Amino acid sequence: MLFTTLTLLLFFLSQLHCYVVDPGPQVKATKGFVWPKPQQVTRSQEYFVINPKEFRFKNLGKECAILVKAFQRYGTMINVTNSLERRGRLTEISVAHFHRIYDKTNYLGSLSKLYVDLENPCKDDEYPSAVMDESYEINITNSMKPMLKAKSIWGILRGLETFSQLIHYASNEYTLIVNSTWIKDFPRFPYRGLMLDTSRHFIPVYSIYNTLDAMSYNKLNVFHWHIVDDQSFPYQSTKFPELSDKGAYHPISQVYTLLDIKRVIEFARLRGIRVIPEFDTPGHTRSWGEGIKDILTPCYDTNGKATGKYGPMNPASKKLFKFLRELFKEIRDVFPDSYLHLGGDEVEFECWDSNEEVKEFMKMKQIKNYKALENYYIQELIRNIVDITDVHVVWEEVFVNGVELTNDTIVHVWKNDGFTVLKNVTGAGKPALLSACWYLDHLKSGGDWNDFYDCDPHDFHGSQEQMDLVLGGEACMWAEVVNGHNIGSRIWPRASATAEKLWSKKNADEFSKAAQRLEEHTCRMNFRGIPAQPPNGPGFCL
């Protein structure tokens, strides 16, 4: 009896994890550190005090709408995020006297403005593009001439973001200070994206705005809008309204109108973010068939009986390419970016294989197999839209299946670890984007941003030319289990890890130090209204 009790006791004891926990947060947040990490930073213990009520941006050159709006945004951010009222504890008088009480030796005075020096004046109708210059320089070492300088408006936007992140609370937790700082910064990759799937769940426009705001806080510059898919067609077309009337989850409440889309593009433009739409074909098109008849392939069973199901686009359809040309013409008019994502992933061959019309067609065209049929489809699509579109992006299957592509077609790598294909694509002289390691729908418990941080688009063996062909990458948010309610916390701050890998230099930071910065950056995003989840376990935001 005693023996049994003892054994049981030992068993229970062995089940108890014996570990020691210190009080306080798992990872201590930095103060006034920038995410993504700038290329070059010099910073000292010396500091300026900022009174947000007095602080102004002072433009040294010409004005334009993007700049004026950015001053408003960042002005409000500095004011509201840091407002004393919000802190609700102390008066301005105590702020003004901080340096007398706390840290006399390092006090450099108060900073009442930031001069903004934009070399090439911006235009009111300017759009961010594949070749935009995002470099900037910040010099806050002298209270008389604190300066943000850039060649283009896009650099000024990135610089304002950095400046806003440098401002932080002093050790008393209520005085705003900014350290004496010099920064020279530019992105490592020109293409730093986030993909949003708005088909599996309709993502409301205000969630897209929130996402775009967060993207600008992370210096991401491409919003890849995977707008339609099998399940729903929320794009409201002017030429073909029946597509969303019949193919959206709901023809009114679950669609993006032309006005919605224009607003999203403008919201993004003001933040230096490109909007690249994806109309994925020939697979992933089931919802298209609700509104437009005779473009999808009817599937048959082994007895040759129609199953009532539909497969990919039907290359044998007489009206298909004419319809696609008309639709893509409209898409070109709606979306100003020169890039267009054509999809091309996961084409299922079974349905093509079951359809006699398709087989007849292949015989007639001497198309030997289904990969060749896919090749034919893509070639025909591109041939039909080549005069109305510019740069095409395709998912990797199109390349891997041997479809002939022009050298400037960009191959978007997403399967497995991605590096074999990345090597092959760039080896064939084609530009590439990486997403394989940045799938936001793949979840692990805890703050799993470290897996995202572990991945670098240059982690393969190849020549310098091959490395240069990697334009960047994207974090992808497939929306099977996210909607407007949880999308923000699913994306952030995990996509922040991607953002830093794409902006900062290779191996810019050790994991443990990045964790401290991300702790701060996540709180910063929370203050600004982004529902980012805690990145590192137990902790707090002030």
- What would the x/- binding string for ligand NAG be over residues 87 to 126, using CB under 6 A? ----------------x--x--------------------
Contacts of ligand NAG in 262-301 (CB under 6 A):
none
Phi/psi at 499 (nearest 5 deg)? -60, -40
Q: Look up tokens 């935009």; give the residue.
A: 132
User: Is 348 an annotated catalytic residue?
Assistant: no
How many residues bind ligand NAG (CB under 6 A)? The answer is 26
Let me know: does 453 contact 504? Beta carbons within 8 Å: no
Does the protein bind ligand NAG through residue 537 (CB under 6 A)? no
Contacts of ligand NAG in 203-222 (CB under 6 A):
none
Q: List, in sequence order, every beta strand (DSSP E) within 111-186.
A: 113-118, 136-140, 147-150, 168-169, 176-185
Q: How far is the CB of 302 from ligand NAG (least distance, A)?
A: 32
Q: How far is the CB of 87 from ligand NAG (least distance, A)?
A: 15
- Kindly tell me which of 47 and 217 has the beta carbon lying closer to ligand NAG: 47
Q: How far is the CB of 78 from ligand NAG (least distance, A)?
A: 5
d(CA 228, CA 198): 7
d(CA 53, CA 452): 39
Q: How far is the CB of 210 from ligand NAG (least distance, A)?
A: 22
- What would the x/- binding string for ligand NAG be over residues 75 to 94, using CB under 6 A? x--xx---------------
Stretch that binds ligand NAG, among 19-27, 74-82, 114-122, 265-273 (CB under 6 A): 74-82
Contacts of ligand NAG in 134-193 (CB under 6 A):
139, 141-142, 145, 179, 182
Phi/psi at 208 (nearest 5 deg)? -70, -40
Range 293-300 contact pairs with CB under 8 angstroms and sequence separation of 24 or more? 294/318, 294/319, 294/320, 295/319, 295/320, 295/323, 297/351, 297/352, 297/355, 297/358, 298/351, 298/355, 299/350, 299/351, 299/354, 299/355, 300/354, 300/355, 300/356
E strand or H helix that includes residue 108: strand 107-110
Q: How far is the CB of 298 from ligand NAG (least distance, A)?
A: 32
Which DSSP state fits 486?
A: T
Q: How far is the CB of 17 from ligand NAG (least distance, A)?
A: 37
Q: How far is the CB of 256 from ligand NAG (least distance, A)?
A: 32
d(CA 420, CA 394): 17
Let me know: does 223 contact 475? Beta carbons within 8 Å: no
Does the protein bind ligand NAG through residue 495 (CB under 6 A)? no
Structure tokens at 61: 């050159």
- Kindly tell me which of 298 and 344 has the beta carbon lying closer to ligand NAG: 344
Q: Look up tokens 């950095």; give the residue.
A: 162
- Kindly tell me which of 43 and 226 has the beta carbon lying closer to ligand NAG: 43
Three-class HEC string of 44-74: EEEEEECCCCCCEEEECCCCCHHHHHHHHHH
- What would the x/- binding string for ligand NAG be over residues 42 to 71, using CB under 6 A? -xxx-x----xx-xx---------------
Contacts of ligand NAG in 18-47 (CB under 6 A):
43-45, 47
Q: Which of 92, 173, 346, 480 is catalytic?
A: 346
Let me know: does 238 contact 331? Beta carbons within 8 Å: no
Point out which residues bind ligand NAG (CB under 6 A): 43-45, 47, 52-53, 55-56, 75, 78-79, 103, 106, 139, 141-142, 145, 179, 182, 400, 407, 420-421, 424, 428-429
Show which residues are catalytic. 346
